[in-house]
Amino acid sequence: MDGSETAAIPALKQIIGALVFGAKKPLTAREIRKNIEEVAETLGGLFAPYASLKDRDVREALDALSADAARAQIGFTVVEGPDGFVFQTDSDCGPWLRHLLDLGRGQRLSRPALETLAIIAYKQPITKADIEAVRGVSIDHILKTLMEAQLVRIMGRSELPGRPLLYGTTNLFLEHFGLKDVTELPKLDELARLDTVRRARAAEAAARQAPSVDAPAAEEPEPPVAEEPSTVETASPEGGVAS
């Protein structure tokens, strides 16, 4: 029995879930809408209502699908990456997935590498010399590491003398940090506020753990005072003063 003979058709959310799951690549909202509309125009009948979909309808169904998956805690959800919508596994399940796929421990970037990556992300396209001017140190090794991790790529050449290479972030960078594009990066003033809040909370936590200066210090018990004999002190066999 083909689709045109079914008594009822699935809800839009259900159709979209099947499309995202079955696609060989990420799907944009436009591609999803076009696919559904073409089927509606071809089959007609019960499918006809889907011939006049709007992008808003598709996005609302995607939001509902993602919310359902998150609420059900089934280990994956729908997210929008730089190339479109995909099913993505829950990051909390990473240790089990890495073991299943024999990927070993996740690679951690050093603080200098993260600082360099942040400069590239916010200033791209940017030359190596400009990055080093901000950091104040050579970044040859760090830049090589970021490129090997496929987080940074060469975007072209500058018009400056010598035509130095220009660097920028990759789609993998966006996927790793859950971004659709670089415009979703937090603004620098927002990061400054978050850092201020983080420092304040750290100071409060340290203050709670530190002993209060107003509270009187607990007095150490004084050692028992040996009673003085009527004549002279008696020495113990070890040479100490006998009590």
Mean pLDDT score across all residues of the chain = 82
Q: Quick one: average pLDDT of 123-145?
A: 94
The angle at the Cα of 230, spanning 228 to 231, to the nearest 5 degrees, equals: 100
Angle between helices 140-148 and 111-123 (to 10 degrees): 80
List pLDDT tens digits, range 162-189.
Answer: 999 999 999 889 988 888 888 888 887 7
Q: How many percent of the chain have pLDDT more than 90?
A: 49
Closest by Cα among 37, 32, 35 to 53: 37
Inter-axis angle of helices 29-43 and 12-22, to 10 degrees?
110
| pLDDT mean over 7-31 | 91
Query: Phi and psi (nearest 5°) for 152?
Result: -130, 145
Q: What residue ranges define each of the domains in the chain, with the CATH number in brackets?
A: 8-99 (1.10.10.10), 111-178 (1.10.10.10)
Cα–Cα distance, 109 to 113 (Å, whole number): 6
- pLDDT, tens digit, for every residue of 20-64? 999 999 999 999 999 999 999 999 888 998 998 998 999 999 999
Number of residues written out for the chain: 243
Cis before 95? omega within 30 = no
**Residues 72, 79: Cα–Cα separation, whole Å:** 16
